[in-house]
Each structure stands twice: as C-alpha cells, then as structure tokens.
Amino acid sequence: VTVDPDLIVIGGGAGGITAAQAATRGGARVLLVQDGPIGGDCTFTGCVPSKALLAAAARGDGFDQAMDHVRASVVRIATTEDDDAMARQGISVRHGRARLLGDGVVDVDGTRLRAPRIILATGAGPAIPPIDGIDPARLLTNETLFELRVQPVSLAILGGGPIGCEMAQAFARLGTQVTVIEAMDRLLPRDDPRAASVVEAALASDGVEVVTAARVQRVEHLDGAVCIHLENGSSIRADQLLVATGRRPSTEGLGLDHAGVELDDGGFIRTEDTLATTAPGIWAIGDVTGRLAFTHAAAAMALVASTNALSKRARIRPQRFDTSAIPRVTFTDPEVATVGMSETEAAERGGRVATVPFEALDRAITAGRTEGYLDLIVGPRRLLGDAGGGRVLGATVVGPRAGELINEVALAIRTRCFAGRLAQTVHAYPTWSMAIQLAAAQLFFEIDGRGARPASTHQP
Ligand SMILES: Cc1cc2nc3c(=O)[nH]c(=O)nc-3n(C[C@H](O)[C@H](O)[C@H](O)COP(=O)(O)OP(=O)(O)OC[C@H]3O[C@@H](n4cnc5c(N)ncnc54)[C@H](O)[C@@H]3O)c2cc1C
C-alpha cells in the first residue's frame, strides 16, 4: 500500500476508479479505499447486470440462462477493474471501511492513513420508503435482485422510474407477471410525458400491469408472497416485491462531522460546482453528491475533482462540473434518451424545437418501430441569433437505439456547433441517426409539413 499518498479516494465505484486513474496519470500517488470488490454499484448491482438481463430477456433467454449471462457479464467487466488491474495502472487499493478523522486522516478498519487531499466517492444505496409493514429483509432491491435463483411467477415493483421500468420489462419478457406501482400519475415522471406514454404502451404490450397515482397504505409480507394494499382499497399480490423508489446517499459512519463536510437537505454531500465540499482539501463525486446519478456522470465528476485537487493551475481557475452535454438514458425497449435542456428550460431562452415523429423516419418504418420520436432543441446564439440554425441546447429521443443517437447531439452541444452542421452532415441511409439530420433541416425549411416551433413551457 502506498505510503504517504498525495490523494486518498474513498469508494471504488465508477467515480472513485476514474478519479484514481486520472490522478495517477497526472503523476500523483493514489490510495483507493473500497469496502467491497472494486467496481461498485454499476458493475455488480446496477448498469451491468441490468443491461445484461435486458439483453438476455430481449433475445428470448429463459430465466436461468439470462441469470447466467448476467453473472458472466459482471465477472468479465469486474476483472477489468479488479485489484490486479488497478495495480497494473499504479493504483494502490486498500479494502475496508473508511472513516474521516479530520486533518486529512482516514481510519480504515483501525489503520490510520493520511493524505493532503481526499475525494469522497461512496455512492448511494436503495432507499426503502417508510411504509407501514414493510420489511427490508423480505423484499428485493437492486442489491439482491440479480442474485435470484428462482424465477418469481409474479413480481410487484414499487417505483416507475428508470430502474423500475427497465426491470419490469426484463422480467415480463422472461415470463414473470409484473405489476408496476407508481405514486405519480405516469411512469418516468422526470421525463417528457410523451416519452413516458410510449414506454407505458411498450410495457403494456409486454404484459406489464401499470398502476399509476397509487398510494401505498400498507405492505403485508406473507409466507412466500407479499400483498401491497393501496389507499383506494385495492391490493396487489405477488411472489416478490422489488423496491425501486429512489436512492439514499452512503454517508453513514463516514465521519463527515469530524471533517467538517456538510450535507444538503436531502442528505447528499453538499458540493460547489467545482465539487469541493465544505471542508478544505476534500472533494465529493458521483451519486453521493445528489448530482446526476449515472456512471458516466460520476466519471465526468471524477475528472473535474481530481484536476481541482491536484493541479496547481486549478487552484486559481478551478474546473466546474457542467451537465449541459451529459446524456441520460433509460434502457427500456424503446429506449428514452435525453441530453441538455428540456423544452421548458429552452422556452425561457427563446428556443425552438424540431420534432421528427418516427412514422416519418424510413429506418423506423423498415424496422416496424414507428412509435418513437426525436425532439431537437435549439436556441439563439449571442449576437448571431438563429443564424445557422442557432446552437443545439438539447434533445429527447425515444426509439430502439435512442441511447446511441443521443451521443451525436451531446457532441453538438459540447462543441457548440451551429445546429445547421447537423443538417449538412451526410448521415447514412437508412439509419436511426438520420432523424437528427432531418430535425436539423426542419430548422431551415419544412419537410412534409414539419418545421420547427417555438419551445413552450406547456408541451403538446
Ligand atoms: C439498477 C441500476 C441500474 C443502473 N443503470 C445505469 C446505467 O445503465 N447507466 C448509468 O450510467 N448508470 C446506471 N446506474 C447508476 C450508476 O450505477 C451509478 O450512478 C454509479 O454506480 C455511481 O457511481 P459512484 O462511484 O458514485 O458510486 P458506487 O458505484 O456506488 O461506488 C461507491 C462504492 O463506495 C463504497 N463505499 C461506501 N462507503 C464506503 C466507506 N466508508 N469506505 C469504503 N468504501 C465505501 C461502496 O461500497 C461502493 O462500492 C444504475 C443504477 C442502478 C441501481
């Protein structure tokens, strides 16, 4: 283990790994402290198993085969970031639970380590809502779901956000009878209502029962089953209950008080846009900050924090974490992908929206998948206004490969290019990405009666 490290990174998940790698590349001596295997949520209980399960279910695997694929995918990715892999990259790993003691001192299961700089990347875990009768030991979360050995005949899922929707579809396709229970009046409450209704229809056609505007009154754990009683008097009975109602930051026992690291009202670590915490010499990244809870966002935060922690130049001009070009994807089929500003946000800046319904997209027609759409959101440039199409501010895409398409829009935002460049770029025919070119062209002229409309705070 590195003696006298320049930087201690606490938490070896997506954020911590990237921070350790970036700092090591920059010449710093880094110690990574992790209380389990390196990889964290994403590799073991998040992105990797969930995407593997979705893929296996989509190709028609049975439950056992699908779970084998999940385990094999996790192992394969985990070995690319295990202790040996870290060692090859010059990163020291210490396994144990870290606790801050103040003044740059970190206790790891009784051993005291010290570094002038610390990055906190402890992530988040499932939040169990305080419902009458609910027993955390008798339900499933993302931490136990992928360990199931027996396929549930029926599964109730509490929460219709991205994780709830993805797992509902995967299990329904594997042949489980799935009911999603959502408190809001629709699925994916944080997304465009049109996107949510496409996903709702897709889940319905996979046989998922969706109950929205549902207030859970009480959960009753029975022998080998669970009964969810709603306030309206109805109840849902299932073999298993999966709770996917949100995330709770992992800050317990971390000694934040000792070190002067403050939390915000939601219990997340309070950070500046520079990712500095309220304690000098300590930065925080990833899910524990309550900022964008994605692996690639944690990695982006890691680059900002490690630069700010270690570069002399950053002490004068620190980098800031900028979310304006970070995509967000829900991997249902069809996928829902967004980046940058929503239409409502763009409305305040005199933005415009060009929509391509996939009924008008040749690739979607040939694929027999015309249920999605693309909204390209643009806004005026300083001095130049809408010349050249203005600049790209955001997009929402709903479709089979939306998660791939969205990265082109992210590049356009990141490089601040004229939106017209997207129209001028020849896209291969017939691809899903052509929707981006079509939408950009609609900023200049009408195609089949479709142009661009002013962004509105009240969407159609
Ligand atoms: C079911 C599910 C699916 C998801 N799918 C996607 C997806 O498709 N794409 C995507 O981008 N994101 C996805 N996410 C989100 C993604 O997993 C997280 O955003 C990401 O893992 C956050 O990384 P992190 O480094 O902040 O935390 P984590 O990956 O949680 O890593 C933190 C690590 O720190 C350790 N730790 C905590 N406290 C201490 C301590 N005191 N001492 C030592 N170690 C400690 C924890 O054990 C943990 O392993 C998904 C999440 C879930 C739950």
- For ligand 1, whether the C-beta of 242 sits within 6 Å is no
- For ligand 1, whether the C-beta of 248 sits within 6 Å is no
- For ligand 1, whether the C-beta of 289 sits within 6 Å is no
- For ligand 1, whether the C-beta of 194 sits within 6 Å is no
pLDDT score, position 341: 97
Tokens 């849902």 -> residue: 236
Nearest to 31 by CA among 130, 154, 103, 121: 121
CB within 8 A of 56, min separation 6: which ones? 65, 66, 69, 70, 170, 174
Task: Classify residue 339 by its DSSP letter.
Answer: E
pLDDT score, position 3: 67
| Closest ligand 1 atom, residue 40 Cα | 49
* Core vs surface per residue 96-112: b (16+ CB within 10 A) or e: eebbbeeebbbbbeeee
Nearest to 120 by CA among 362, 369, 242, 302: 302
- For ligand 1, whether the C-beta of 403 sits within 6 Å is no
Question: CA–CA separation, 231 vs 215, rounded Å?
Answer: 5
72 Cα distance to chain centroid: 22
CA of 389 to the centre of ligand 1 (A): 39
Strand duo 30-34 + 92-95: pairing: parallel
Q: Which residues pair with residue 243 across a beta bridge?
A: 158
Question: CA–CA separation, 299 vs 303, rounded Å?
Answer: 7
pLDDT score, position 414: 98
pLDDT score, position 2: 56
CA of 42 to the centre of ligand 1 (A): 5
CA of 190 to the centre of ligand 1 (A): 20
CA of 168 to the centre of ligand 1 (A): 21
Q: How far is CA 130 from CA 43, 140, 142, 356, 419, in A?
A: 28, 15, 18, 43, 47
Question: Which ranges constitute the DSSP H helices of 274-361?
Answer: 295-310, 312-316, 343-347
pLDDT score, position 184: 97
- Mutation to probe ligand 1, out of 18, 45, 47, 100 (largest number of atoms < 8 A from CB): 47
CB within 8 A of 252, min separation 6: which ones? none
CB within 8 A of 140, min separation 6: which ones? 148, 240, 241, 242, 243
Q: Exposed, middle or buried, 260 (CB in 10 Å: 0-12/13-18/19+)?
A: middle
DSSP-based three-state secondary structure for 84: helix
Question: CA–CA separation, 78 vs 67, rounded Å?
Answer: 16
CA of 100 to the centre of ligand 1 (A): 20
DSSP-based three-state secondary structure for 75: helix
Instruction: Output the residue whose Cα is nearest ligand 1's atom 50.
Output: 46
pLDDT string in tens for the chain (460-residue length): 556 899 999 999 999 999 999 999 999 999 999 999 999 999 999 999 999 999 999 999 999 999 999 999 999 999 999 999 999 999 999 999 999 999 999 999 999 999 999 999 999 999 999 999 999 999 999 999 999 999 999 999 999 999 999 999 999 999 999 999 999 999 999 999 999 999 999 999 999 999 999 999 999 999 999 999 999 999 999 999 999 999 999 999 999 999 999 999 999 999 999 999 999 999 999 999 999 999 999 999 999 999 999 999 999 999 999 999 999 999 999 999 999 999 999 999 999 999 999 999 999 999 999 999 999 999 999 999 999 999 999 999 999 999 999 999 999 999 999 999 999 999 999 999 999 999 999 999 999 999 999 999 876 5
- Mutation to probe ligand 1, out of 54, 245, 295 (largest number of atoms < 8 A from CB): 295
- For ligand 1, whether the C-beta of 50 sits within 6 Å is yes
| Closest ligand 1 atom, residue 292 Cα | 19
The Cα angle at residue 255 between residues 249 and 256, in degrees rounded to 5: 60
Strand duo 452-454 + 352-357: pairing: antiparallel
pLDDT score, position 460: 53
Instruction: Output the residue whose Cα is nearest ligand 1's atom 20.
Output: 295
Q: What is the largest CA-CA distance in the chain?
A: 70
Q: Are 254 and 99 in contact (CB under 8 A)?
A: yes
- Mutation to probe ligand 1, out of 38, 41, 43, 296 (largest number of atoms < 8 A from CB): 41
Question: CA–CA separation, 201 vs 207, rounded Å?
Answer: 10
Task: Classify residue 285 by its DSSP letter.
Answer: -
Nearest to 56 by CA among 41, 75, 72, 78: 72
pLDDT score, position 458: 75
